[in-house]
Amino acid sequence: MNRRRLIFEPEHEIFRDQARRFFLERIAPNAAAWRAQGYVDREAFQWAGEHGYLLMWAAERYGGAGIDDFRYEQILYEENVRHGEFGFFMTVHSRLVGPYIGKLGTEEQKQRWLPACIRGDTILGVAMTEPDAGSDLASMRTRAERHGDRWVLSGAKTYISNGQIGDVFIVAARTVPEVRHGLGLFVVERGMPGFRRGRRLQKIGMHAQDTSELFFDDVEVPAANVLGDPECGFEYLTRFLSEERLLSATASMASAQTAFDITLEFIRGRRAFGRPIGAFQNSRFKMADMRTQLDAAQTFLDALVLQHNAGELSPTLAAEVKLLASELEGRVMDECLQLHGSAGYMQEYRIARLYTDARISRIYAGTSEIMREIIGRSLGLDERKLT
């Protein structure tokens, strides 16, 4: 990264150096093989667990580090995107799914699941999206019916990260048919009868990330696997969304910064009309514009990370930074690929992979349109209030 980041202390920089070595030495050498096979080997999670990089926020009594400072996760994500493999979704495991257990789980549930998640022996996923319900999550059809001390879960989920390699999934399901937001969260474990995996979906990018269908055919889930109040699942999902958006913005900035750096190097070396591509005023201006926008967006994101650490990040600001970072990432990828010429269209050049990997950022963790809805409504521009 070219600019000094004001939010990091010396201990963060030491941590970053160690993390960089981990991603360069353990993850990067496997990345091409994982992309070819379409999923990350389970061992990758165990390697990260050995280094103490999983669920760092968890208390020491479960095997965690007890460090809830978001900056450490930010560093891990940045180093993974830049030096490791974007499709290795350890952040989803650690910070997107793990907190459902850590923050909503009973002591018994935490004892049961957290230690293996921290070691990387158990891999986590979260299953909200359905074939007919994505942005409009409250319209989901997966149902859970109570039968004594068990819940019977039936339905289908799709686009689920870690879908094939995952062991434990937080599954959202309708518990109160007549109430739109009447959802519950259920912990479904590998091997439960009626729980099956469907296809590993073929994506245009992020080929090492396993994104799959999941099916629940009358899966009997014990009451001990319900997280929190079985009618408050929708509220829980929204409670965790701000952090998910901050994470998504972190990844967008890291991949955009990486694209910028490799492009700067490329245009210094590649020549046309007797001079380096970088010597053309067009290249210089494009790079100057991107540099300025990247610095501004990174500064905004870093400021929000500190707000998040202080427990003060609003859902609106989380939506703003997710929108800003993912849209900027898309523009930067396009400009950087253009500056590479046809080389940029070739898989062997990293910019081609960054370009296709980046396309999802404007869709998952809430689409750009949904982010605009959240921000717009916070301004009082809500059709229900204005008409």
Tell me the catalytic residues. 244
If binding is defined by CB under 6 A, does position 13 make contact with ligand FAD?
no
For β-strands 124-127 and 168-174, DSSP reports them as: parallel
From 159-167, 220-228, 279-287, 311-319, give the range in contact with ligand FAD by CB under 6 A. 159-167
Cα separation, 43 vs 46, in Å, equals: 5
Q: Is position 215 an interface residue for ligand FAD (rule: CB under 6 A)? A: no
CB 309 within 8 A of CB 70: yes
Closest separation in Å from C-beta 133 to ligand FAD: 7
Taking Cα atoms as reference points, which of 39, 31, 326 lies closest to residue 161?
A: 39
Q: Name the residue nearer to ligand FAD (CB basis): 9 or 132.
A: 132
Candidate list 359, 364, 377, 378; residue touching ligand FAD; CB under 6 A: 364
Asked if 161 is part of the footprint of ligand FAD (rule: CB under 6 A), the reply reads yes
Distance CA 46, CA 10 (A): 27
Tell me which of 30, 360, 361, 374 binds ligand FAD, using CB under 6 A.
Answer: 360
> Which residue, 159 or 195, is less far from ligand FAD as judged by CB?
159
Contact 210, 164 (CB under 8 A): yes
Q: Give the C-alpha separation, 182 to 73, whole Å.
A: 32
Rg (CA), the chain: 21
> What are the Cα distances from residue 116, in Å, to 22, 42, 48, 121, 163?
21, 13, 12, 5, 18
Under the binding rule (CB under 6 A), the answer on residue 127 touching ligand FAD is yes
Query: How many Å apart are CA 310 and CA 288, to the nearest integer?
Result: 34
Question: Which residue lies nearest ligand FAD, judged by its C-beta?
Answer: 134
Q: Which member of 64, 99, 102, 134 binds ligand FAD (CB under 6 A)? A: 134
- Report yes or no: 187 and 135 within 8 Å, Cβ to Cβ: no
Task: Supply the minimum distance, in Å, between the C-beta of residue 118 and ligand FAD.
Answer: 20
User: How many positions of this chain bind ligand FAD (CB under 6 A)?
Assistant: 21
Distance CA 317, CA 321 (A): 6
Binding status of residue 356 toward ligand FAD by CB under 6 A: no
Considering only 22-30, 111-119, 313-321, 356-364, which stretch makes contact with ligand FAD by CB under 6 A? Answer: 356-364
* Amino acid (1-letter code) at residue 233: G
Q: Which helix (H) or strand (E) holds 318?
A: helix 315-340
Determine the Cα–Cα distance for residues 359 and 333; give it in Å rounded to an integer: 9
Q: Which is nearer to ligand FAD, 133 or 351 (CB)?
A: 133
Q: Which of 126, 294, 305, 323 binds ligand FAD (CB under 6 A)?
A: 126
Using CB under 6 A, which of 367, 375, 377, 378 touches ligand FAD?
367
Min. distance of Cβ 304 from ligand FAD in angstroms? 21
Binding site for ligand FAD (CB under 6 A): 125-129, 134-135, 159-161, 203, 206, 209, 211, 360, 363-364, 367, 369-370, 373
